[in-house]
Structure 1
Amino acid sequence: MTPPWSLPLNVPPEVLQELSKNLAPNGIADYAALTVFSAAAATFLSRGYLWDKPDPLHHLWFERPQLKNGGAIGSATKETRNIAKKLDESNKDLVVFWGSQSGTAEGFANRLAREISLRFGLSAMTADLSDYDPETISEIPESKLAGFLLSTYGEGDPSDNTAEFWDWISKTKDKEKLLSSLRYFAFGLGNRNYKYYNRVVDVAVEALDKLGANAIMPTGKADDAEGATQEDFMAWKEQLFAVFKGLGLQEHEVQYVPTLSVQEDESLEPIDLHNGEPDGSSLKAQCSPIRPLSISASRELFNSSDRHCLHIDLDLTTQPEFTYKTGDHLAIWPGNPDAEVERLLQSLGLTSRRDIPISIKSTDSATKVKIPSPTTVATLFRYYLEICGPVNRDNVLGLAQFAPTPDAKAYLQQLGQDKTSYAIFINKNHVNLGRLLQGASPEKWNIPLSYLVETLPSMQPRYYSISSSSVITPRKASITVSVSTAPVPENGGELIHGVTSNYLLAVSENLRSSPHPEGLTYHLNGPSDFLQGGKVLTHLRKSKFKLPALSKLPLIMVAAGTGLAPFRAFIAERRQLQQIGKETGELLLIFGCRRQDEDFIYRDELQEMQNALGDKLRVVTAFSREGKKQYVQDKVSEVSDDVFRLIEEGANFYICGRAEMAREVEKAVAEVMTVKGHDDVNEWRTRMKRRNKWQEDVW
């Protein structure tokens, strides 16, 4: 039969009528075929509308992180990635590069560049190492100076934004004269409790010197083991300034000159304002976007009236792009407590102006505005600045110029000038900005908002190890939160409240219609009230702290306190694999806390998993304030035969907790291996870490 679409246009009507009779559906089979054909056609035509929709975030896989602030390849307004060209275009004499994981090195870089400009008249700028192509450092002329402030974290790792620079110096270290025109100085941030103390700055300086760069002074180093980072930085900074004077630079009296303009603008409407939503442009590739998540459940883990530890479940079902793997981290973006926000507003005389719109703009093309603008002062203090942290001595001295009375000025100058006196004062008082101003003078302080934006750290997220398994609960992520509330030493009446942990405690208690135990209140509805109903702002971060691909490999896990969190997930995942018939290796968990009946978190769950796993799981406990005082490193030595046997059988070794604990555990394991006959323990340990069989998640 000739198909109807090939018939000529002048077909007689009677032929068409007969044809339509023959083509009409006749019987169940015809109707069924027609139904299938119609469904297939509808499915095909709805592609891209009802199904197989293009991922709106697909383009992010191809974006360079440095272009996340609005730049675009080929755009006329794109910032240059050539640092030498940037220095020339902005007429700068000096650049301070920073590599920072938590924001401390970035804050130091900003302070240093600002003070160099004020004290010596040099035009200085700061630079995120990820914003510039590292090879262009070789183009910086000898007439200019470069500083490198580099932090070390984890196992001697560089910060995320240092990765490109790190790769470059590793690959080009044999080109001896490449940086012969570069004059530089360097300062490292680290913690002596970590095995690779300040490794990043050491490696960077060695590479710079091999490339022909000229250091104008010895490398400075901060040690946070005893909380001395601020004082170490200040001491090194004074040495740097002495070198500057030796180079013939003239020192001037320091007077505040703003690099930012903060102005009220009542013409702005509420819809124009940023109400506290975090700026996620600085998040790196291993992080998800920032999104609100609902707390689906929260429970107390401690059996104590004055100490709190929370298990919090977060519902991921509303955020399809949120996918995690066992061992990843979840970040919480907190808000500051109402009392501290109100205290600071009152000290500055801004209580009545709290909701007036303000615009924050840079007065220097080389200075980036890190605070979303426009906004309000109340939002600035609640969400965008860290107002609860202690004030360093540098800032105490800087605030003296804005004192409302001669007595207040003298008080701050005396407090800030003497290192010993300030240390004694800090030991007796928790001095954040609001408390310091109130204590120095009850009168109104005329401190420019630009000064506070420039000197106070930006609010940072706090990261928690996810304590659930993505295999078991892929759309629910759990975190374990130790709530930090402690009295200041030598002053039992005043409490220091951890910012994020107490914020989470307030959210959790509010879900139960209960107040915060210490009476703290927060704006729990969040920016623009979109956190109503127990939501928090979060993002996910990929981690290298992972289970081995082979489930039959044994695991040794050492944890103290909330360091147990990721191991709860590890053990649960191994139990799940065993239940579906997979071969699983032996698990040895060494866990420490204060007291068995008070803060042994997840004890019942661990018992259930022991029952399910049988002889596959052994739990060894250490209690530091019950019976014979013991720590996890003591238990490592106590069960040395099992530790050695499992390592010889190919076990992965994991440590999670504080850095000083990890250091002691590593010493204990090294002693075990030495006693058991390993001649070169360092080589063994290096080999283990290179193969990812020794992993640490420490803070």
Structure 2
Amino acid sequence: MQLQVMNSPFNQEQAELLNRLLPTFTESQKVWLSGYLAGAASAPLASVLGVPSQQGTTEGTASKEVTILYGSQTGNARGLAKKASTTLEGKGFQVTVSAMSDFKPNNIKKVKNLLIIVSTHGEGDPPDNALTFHEFLHGKRAPKLEDLNFSVLSLGDSSYEFFCQTGKQFDARLEELGGTRLYPRFDCDLDYDEPAAEWLEGVISSLGEAKGGIPALTQGTATQTVESTFSRTNPFRAEVLDNLNLNGRGSNKETRHLELSLEGSGLSFEPGDALGIYPENDPELVDLLLEELKWNPEESVTINKQGEVLSLKDALTTYYEITTLTKPLLEKAAKLTASNELQELLNDNEKVKSYLEGHDLLDVVREFGPVNSSPQEFVSILRKMPARLYSIASSLNANPDEVHLTIGAVRYNAHGRDRKGVCSIFTAERLQPGDTVPVYIQHNENFKLPANSETPIIMVGPGTGVAPFRSFMQEREETGAEGKSWMFFGDQHFVTDFLYQTEWQKWLKDGVLTRMDVAFSRDTAEKVYVQHRMLEQSKELFQWLQEGAHVYICGDEKHMAHDVHQTLIGIIEKEGSLSREEAEAYLADMQQQKRYQRDVY
């Protein structure tokens, strides 16, 4: 929006200056300035903006500058970085926020105050958008950083062996390069809101000490930031509209298509985003656990710092995680059970790692009980039930006020007992149309359609990995996108497991989808997977890459995504007549350009 001299109180020179300046402001800076102009118009503008006068202090503005770099796979670190930025700007700091993939690594030498907010992905790996910066900082080209003040907020999941590994690596490396910790690193588990807030409070205090006090908040500064009413900490109760089994009779699988209403929520999303669901534990498992503990299910327990009280049964059903074990949980349980066997287990890391796989809280109580504590002491060692994230399988433009999910039901037998996935079975067996479920939107900037709708896209999504690509196709159909599109889908059997088959066939017929290659591994003597179909089409696939196609992968990280990644390198190496190293660099460059994006789990 351009300011016009006509009908405004500004002269030509002032209007030109404002037109150059206003587009450079962040949203929070605009809110801040509007609050100032509304409530403090009599004060000198320069003093409130933090611009030193000619007679001002000799302390440079650099001490007020803070750079926040985030590495995020699902969006949690990004969300915390944005919140931290808003809070710091409200305190008078000048903040630059950037994904690590968008930050020029060499510019680290110019940074004085650095905050790293980063998650750990998979088995201790950096998230995709942190790979390049992580590699640079840990390489020989990393500069000395004696003038750097830094602090790290690390996100992770304590059920994984390499808990918060990436954050720990950044923290150690920045110190090794000469940086000074502004505030100690915080390692956060799945329930990260309170520790993250405590970390930021400590960081702000340290920054204030470093530059002689924190600037006072100007009236109307931070309070004017408007956020969505519903969020991860305040989920919306969405009504179930439909819940269908996508697999045919005789299939080895059960894949649910879940349709939820967002009417009245004000929530919005884009293709590539995810939906968080807060599930409930299996009531049969809760009953077995209570039976083993021999406690009154109706006894009251306090579940949080706010003093909220639930019955023990309700707390174990709706609030606490009881199916996933972590080493910290076993260590706390050892103190409540006084079990020598459990203590011996904890002394052997390999045995602990093996035990965590496939066991749950009921196993611990049965094998190492009895529990010598009160119900209140017992629940205090448990983690809060985390939400489960699912790639959204619909376009909001095509289905207003609705969100669709594709969820594979998880059932298996381990250690002599049948086990069930918490959220997948909650949706498959206990959610009916008319029921409501707590949900929130998890935005994912790392998995987005190209801004230019004419850009070709290649999608690889076997099984439930098909979900975001259904969203992509609905969006492209709705917006009339003209770019070519190519889908690789795979599952076990063509007859029973071709998810959304009629929709894909219609998109092909209508030209919304350019081509589709499928692999049904159990329909042939030799198993065929999506990467095999990609190899069969290697020449054309590479041609699409040369034309600027964006590649998207969704699904299992350990096997499928790894195999597809290696296949892509092989195709680039062969069809581009490149060395292996050059092919790897080609794909890494695609990733840097956001032409290669993954939503893997």
TM-score range, shorter chain: 0.5 to 0.7
Query: How far does residue 588 in structure 1 lie from its aligned partner after superposition?
Result: 1.0
**Structure 1 residues 191, 571: CA separation in 2 closer, same or farther (over 3 Å shift)?**
farther
Tell me which residue corresponds to 1:435: 363
1:476 and 2:402 correspond:
yes
DSSP-derived class of the 2:425 partner: helix
Question: What letter corresponds to residue 350 of structure 1 in structure 2?
Answer: W
1:500 and 2:402 correspond:
no
Aligned equivalents of 2:117 and 2:557: distance in 1? 22
DSSP-derived class of the 2:242 partner: strand
Question: What letter corresponds to residue 440 of structure 2 in structure 1?
Answer: H
Aligned equivalent of 1:205, options 172, 177, 201: 172
Tell me which residue corresponds to 2:333: 399
Superposed counterparts of 1:149-228, under 5 Å: 151-153=119-121, 156-157=126-127, 175-178=145-148, 200-213=167-180
Question: What letter corresponds to residue 501 of structure 1 in structure 2?
Answer: S
1:540 and 2:508 correspond:
no
Contact map agreement 2:118 2:166 (CA 8 A) in 1: no
Query: How far does residue 630 in structure 1 lie from its aligned partner after superposition?
Result: 1.7
Tell me which residue corresponds to 2:514: 617
DSSP-derived class of the 2:449 partner: coil
Tell me which residue corresponds to 2:535: 637
TM-score normalised to structure 2 length: 0.63
Tell me which residue corresponds to 1:674: 573
Question: What letter corresponds to residue 443 of structure 2 in structure 1?
Answer: K
Aligned equivalent of 1:664, options 559, 563, 568: 563
**Structure 1 residues 152, 575: CA separation in 2 closer, same or farther (over 3 Å shift)?**
same
Aligned equivalents of 1:62 and 1:158: distance in 2? 32
Superposed counterparts of 1:267-666, under 5 Å: 289-303=234-248, 304=250, 307-319=253-265, 321-351=266-296, 353-354=298-299, 356=300, 358-359=301-302, 369=305, 373-390=308-325, 392=327, 395-396=329-330, 398-403=332-337, 409-419=339-349, 430-441=358-369, 445-449=371-375, 451-488=377-414, 491=415, 494-508=417-431, 510-511=432-433, 533-544=434-445, 545-578=447-480, 584-613=482-511, 616-627=513-524, 628-660=526-558, 661-666=560-565
Question: What letter corresponds to residue 255 of structure 2 in structure 1?
Answer: C
Superposed counterparts of 1:107-146, under 5 Å: none
Aligned equivalents of 2:492 and 2:345: distance in 1? 37
Deviation track 1:483-520 (CA, whole Å, cap 9, x = no partner) reads 111111xx5x5212110111111234x44xxxxxxxxx
Unaligned ranges ≥5, structure 1:
1-57, 64-97, 106-127, 136-147, 222-281, 362-368, 512-532
Query: How far does residue 461 in structure 1 lie from its aligned partner after superposition?
Result: 0.5
DSSP-derived class of the 1:622 partner: strand
Deviation track 1:280-317 (CA, whole Å, cap 9, x = no partner) reads xx999986941101111111011246531100111122
Contact map agreement 2:272 2:392 (CA 8 A) in 1: yes
Tell me which residue corresponds to 2:22: none
Query: How far does residue 471 in structure 1 lie from its aligned partner after superposition?
Result: 2.0
Aligned equivalents of 1:103 and 1:433: distance in 2? 29
Question: What letter corresponds to residue 399 of structure 1 in structure 2?
Answer: A
Contact map agreement 1:327 1:543 (CA 8 A) in 2: yes
Contact map agreement 1:309 1:483 (CA 8 A) in 2: yes
DSSP-derived class of the 1:621 partner: strand
Contact map agreement 1:298 1:312 (CA 8 A) in 2: yes
DSSP-derived class of the 1:331 partner: strand
Aligned equivalents of 1:380 and 1:131: distance in 2? 34
Aligned equivalents of 1:187 and 1:293: distance in 2? 28
Tell me which residue corresponds to 1:267: none
Aligned equivalents of 1:359 and 1:287: distance in 2? 21
Tell me which residue corresponds to 2:50: none
Identity of aligned residues (%): 25
Query: How far does residue 629 in structure 1 lie from its aligned partner after superposition?
Result: 0.9
Query: RMSD between aligned alpha carbons?
Result: 4.6
TM-score normalised to structure 1 length: 0.55
Question: What letter corresponds to residue 506 of structure 1 in structure 2?
Answer: E
Q: Which structure has the greater CA radius of gyration?
A: 1
Query: How far does residue 353 in structure 1 lie from its aligned partner after superposition?
Result: 4.0
**Structure 1 residues 608, 667: CA separation in 2 closer, same or farther (over 3 Å shift)?**
same
Deviation track 1:456-492 (CA, whole Å, cap 9, x = no partner) reads 221110111111112211211100000111111xx5x
Contact map agreement 1:507 1:534 (CA 8 A) in 2: no
Deviation track 1:227-252 (CA, whole Å, cap 9, x = no partner) reads xxxxxxxxxxxxxxxxxxxxxxxxxx
**Structure 1 residues 458, 62: CA separation in 2 closer, same or farther (over 3 Å shift)?**
farther
Question: What letter corresponds to residue 243 of structure 2 in structure 1?
Answer: S
DSSP-derived class of the 2:566 partner: helix
DSSP-derived class of the 1:687 partner: helix
Question: What letter corresponds to residue 688 of structure 1 in structure 2?
Answer: M
**Structure 1 residues 433, 600: CA separation in 2 closer, same or farther (over 3 Å shift)?**
same
More deviation, 197-206/624-633: 197-206
Query: How far does residue 409 in structure 1 lie from its aligned partner after superposition?
Result: 2.7
**Structure 1 residues 287, 649: CA separation in 2 closer, same or farther (over 3 Å shift)?**
farther
